[in-house]
A and B are shown apart, each in its own frame.
Chain A
Amino acid sequence: NAGVTQTPKFRVLKTGQSMTLLCAQDMNHEYMYWYRQDPGMGLRLIHYSVGEGTTAKGEVPDGYNVSRLKKQNFLLGLESAAPSQTSVYFCASSTSGFTEAFFGQGTRLTVV
């Protein structure tokens, strides 16, 4: 049972480039989340989804877009990467908005 899988694990982008981070879960969870983790700031919610075909903005959505075309996948896109988006990105899933979240291993993104 893989749980939550994120790809890629590492990526270096140049300023202005675009990329997509993929999150896949095999637990049939309705809710999925994208967080970014920066030193001293904990986890901040970027976007989330409460079911297939739905998305909503979190605390820090600017510069990111998401899509949830299939229940098991949640994609995070950076349209034009900026150095301020250098961070570790975590995907998580849960059965509801107030139950335990299961996390992926993270994607370390560096924008130069």
Chain B
Amino acid sequence: AQSVTQLDSQVPVFEEAPVELRCNYSSSVSVYLFWYVQYPNQGLQLLLKYLSGSTLVKGINGFEAEFNKSQTSFHLRKPSVHISDTAEYFCAVSVTGGFKTIFGAGTRLFVKA
């Protein structure tokens, strides 16, 4: 069975600084990987996804993530964050032919002025 570990529960960062949110996964078969964002009092929305092809994936709002198969990681990065990026971010994994997506525990990003 697949699993997801988000290595940081909270990440405080100053505005315009770079940020990396870390995600590791485990699976015995090929995976699809996702990052979702949840703004306060809202549902989750897709930030980006890796299905196949280029290991560097670009998403909305200037975020990108890199799939590293050897390290079983899918870290999320942004070169310069804004106050509006304050939210909770979830890494998720599913497998080919699978019935469900497994979510990590979430990383709360605080962007400070």
Assuming the contacts A42-B90, A42-B106, asked whether A98 and B43 have C-beta atoms less than 8 A apart, the reply is no
Contact check, B105 vs A56: say whether CB atoms are below 8 A apart. no
Assuming the contacts A40-B9, A106-B43, asked whether A101 and B101 have C-beta atoms less than 8 A apart, the reply is yes
Contact check, B45 vs A103: say whether CB atoms are below 8 A apart. yes
B35-59 to A contact mask, C-beta < 8 Å, 1/0: 0100001111110010000000000
How many interface contacts (CB-CB < 8 Å) are there between A and B? Answer: 60
Assuming the contacts A40-B9, A40-B105, asked whether A103 and B95 have C-beta atoms less than 8 A apart, the reply is no
Could you tell me the distance in whole angstroms from the C-beta of A96 to the nearest C-beta in chain B? 9
Contact check, B49 vs A100: say whether CB atoms are below 8 A apart. yes
Chain B positions 2-27 with a Cβ under 8 Å from a chain A Cβ: 6, 9
Contact check, B103 vs A97: say whether CB atoms are below 8 A apart. no
- The contact size tier of chain B is 20 to 34
A76-98 to B contact mask, C-beta < 8 Å, 1/0: 00000000000000101010011
Contact check, A90 vs B43: say whether CB atoms are below 8 A apart. yes
Chain A positions 47-77 with a Cβ under 8 Å from a chain B Cβ: 48, 50, 56, 58
Of all chain A residues, the one with the shortest Cβ separation from B49 is A100
- The contact size tier of chain A is 20 to 34
The reply on B110 being an interface residue by CB < 8 A is no
Of all chain B residues, the one with the shortest Cβ separation from A40 is B105
Could you tell me the distance in whole angstroms from the C-beta of B34 to the nearest C-beta in chain A? 7
The listed residue (A43, A48, A106) touching B103 by CB distance below 8 A is A43
Complex Cα distance A53/B61, Å?
38
Contact check, A98 vs B98: say whether CB atoms are below 8 A apart. yes
B82-113 to A contact mask, C-beta < 8 Å, 1/0: 00000000100011111111111110000000
The reply on A105 being an interface residue by CB < 8 A is yes
Contact check, B105 vs A98: say whether CB atoms are below 8 A apart. no
Assuming the contacts A41-B105, A98-B94, asked whether A33 and B100 have C-beta atoms less than 8 A apart, the reply is yes
- Chain B: residues with CB nearer than 8 A to chain A? 6, 9, 32, 34, 36, 41-46, 49, 90, 94-106
